Amino acid sequence: MRVADLSLPLSLAALVAVPFVFGDFTAYQIGLFLLYGSVAQGVALCWGRVGILPLGQALFFGLGAYLGGGALIRFEHSSILLYPALLGAVLAPATVAGAIGILVFRRNVGSGPYFSLITLALSMLAYQVALGADWLTGGYMGLNGIPPLPGTDPWSTLYWVILGALVLSTGVLLWITRSPLGQLLHAVSQNEDRLSFLGFDIARLKALAFAVSAALAGMAGALYAAQQGIVTPQVLAYVLSGELLIWTAVGGRASLIGPAAGAVLIGMLTSNLRDRFQYWEILLALLFLAIVLFAPTGLAGLIAPLLKRLPKRVHAMRDVERPLPDRGDMPMLSFEEVRVTIGSVRILQGLTLELKKRGLHCLIGPNGAGKTSAFNALMGRLSVSGGRITWGGRDITGLPAHKVARLGIARKLQVPAIFHDMTVGVHLDIALWSGGISARELLSQRSFRYRNEILGVLKEMFPFLNDEEKRAGDLSLGHRQVLEFALSVIARPEVVLLDEPCAGLSTQETANLTAAIRKIAGRFDISALIIEHDFSVVEELSDHIFVLHQGQTLSEGTLEAIRADHKVQAVYTGGTK
Partner 1 sequence: MERRDFLKASLIAGISTALPRQVFAQSDTLKLGFLFPKSGPAAIFGPSSETCIKLGVSQINAAGGILGRQIEAFTGDAGGAPSDTVQAAQRMWRSNGIVALIGQHDSASRAAVIGSIHGQIPYIFTALSEGGFCQPGLYALGETPQQQLGPVIPYLAKAKGASKWYLVGNDYDWPRKSNDIAKPMIKASGGKIVGEEYLPFNVNNFDTTLSKIRDSGADAVFITLVGSASVGFNRAYASFGLDKQALRLGTLIEENTLAGIGAENSKNLFSSVGYFDALDTPGALAFRAPYYKTFGKDAPVLNTASEGLYEGLLFVKAVFGKAGSTDPKAFAAAAEGATYEGPRGQVTMKGRFVNSNVYLATAEGAAFKIIESFQNVDPGTVCTN
Partner 2 sequence: MDASLFFLLNMGYGVLTLALVALGLAVIFGLLGVMNMAHGEFIAMGAYSAYAAQSAGLPLFVSLPAAALVTGAVGWLIEATVVRHLYKRPFDTLLATWGISILLREGIKLAFGVDYKSVVEPVSGSTGVLGIDYPNYRIAVMAALLVCFFLLFLWYRKSHASARVRAMIANPELAAIVGINTKRLASLAFVIGAASAGIAGAMLAPLVQIEPYMGINYLLQSFFVLVVGGLGSFHGLFIGSGVIGGVASTASAAFGGTGGYVTLLLISILFLWLKPEGLYAGR
- From 265, 287, 457, 461, residue interacting with partner 1 (rule: CB under 8 A): 265
Question: Which window, 63-71, 186-194, 269-277, 292-300, contacts partner 2 (CB under 8 A)?
Answer: 292-300
- 132 is a contact residue toward partner 2 (CB under 8 A): yes
Give the integer Cα–Cα distance in Å for 423 and 474.
9
289 binds, among partner 2, partner 1, none (CB under 5 to 8 A by kind): partner 2
121 binds, among partner 1, partner 2, none (CB under 5 to 8 A by kind): partner 2
Question: Which window, 5-13, 85-93, 189-197, 437-445, contacts partner 1 (CB under 8 A)?
Answer: 5-13
**CA 128 vs CA 123, 139, 184, 553: distances in Å:** 9, 9, 37, 58
How near is the Cβ of 76 to partner 1 at its closest, in Å?
15
- 99 is a contact residue toward partner 2 (CB under 8 A): no
- From 78, 79, 108, 128, residue interacting with partner 1 (rule: CB under 8 A): 128
10 binds, among partner 2, partner 1, none (CB under 5 to 8 A by kind): partner 1
Closest CB to partner 1 among residues 157, 191: 157
- 116 is a contact residue toward partner 2 (CB under 8 A): yes
As to burial, measured by CB atoms within 10 angstroms (0-12 exposed, 13-18 middle, 19+ buried), residue 416 is buried
- From 109, 136, 168, 415, residue interacting with partner 2 (rule: CB under 8 A): 109
Q: What is the dihedral angle through the alpha carbons of 287, 288, 294, 295, rounded to the nearest 10 degrees?
A: 100
- 268 is a contact residue toward partner 1 (CB under 8 A): yes
Binding mask 143-172 for partner 1 (x = CB under 8 A): -xx---------------------------
Q: How many residues bind partner 2 (CB under 8 A)?
A: 34
Direct distance between the N- and C-terminal alpha carbons of the chain, in angstroms, rounded to an integer: 52
- From 134, 281, 460, 469, residue interacting with partner 2 (rule: CB under 8 A): 281
Give the integer Cα–Cα distance in Å for 560 and 14.
76
Question: Which window, 213-221, 302-310, 371-379, 416-424, contacts partner 1 (CB under 8 A)?
Answer: 302-310
HEC letters along 329-371: CCCCEEEEEEEEEECCEEEEEEEEEEECCCCEEEEECCCCCCH
- From 48, 142, 182, 359, residue interacting with partner 1 (rule: CB under 8 A): 142
- From 23, 84, 110, 436, residue interacting with partner 1 (rule: CB under 8 A): 23
Residues sharing a CB contact under 8 Å with residue 225, sequence separation 6 or more, in sequence order: 64, 65, 66, 68, 69, 72, 143, 146, 231
Choose among 324, 317, 323: nearest CA to 446: 317
- Answer whether 233's CB lies under 8 Å from 140's CB: yes
Give the integer Cα–Cα distance in Å for 180 and 449.
11
- From 16, 25, 108, 283, residue interacting with partner 1 (rule: CB under 8 A): 25
How near is the Cβ of 270 to partner 2 at its closest, in Å?
13
- From 82, 121, 167, 295, residue interacting with partner 2 (rule: CB under 8 A): 121
Q: How would DSSP label each residue in 227-263? A: HHS-B-GGGGSHHHHHHHHHHHHHH-TT-SSHHHHHH
Write down the number of H helices and E strands in the chain: 24, 12
Give the integer Cα–Cα distance in Å for 231 and 240.
13
Instruction: Return the number of other C-beta atoms located less than 10 Å from residue 252's C-beta.
Output: 27
Q: How would DSSP label each residue in 126-186? A: HHHHHHH-HHHH-GGG-B--PPPPTT--TTTTHHHHHHHHHHHHHHHHHHHHHSHHHHHHH
140 binds, among partner 2, partner 1, none (CB under 5 to 8 A by kind): partner 1
Binding interface with partner 1 (CB under 8 A): 4, 6-7, 10-11, 14, 21-26, 28-29, 32, 128, 131-132, 139-142, 144-145, 228-230, 232, 234-235, 237, 239-240, 265, 268-269, 271-272, 274-275, 281, 303, 306-307, 309-310
Binding interface with partner 2 (CB under 8 A): 47, 53, 103-104, 107, 109, 112-114, 116-118, 121-122, 124-125, 128-129, 131-132, 242, 245, 249, 279, 281-282, 284-286, 288-289, 292-293, 296
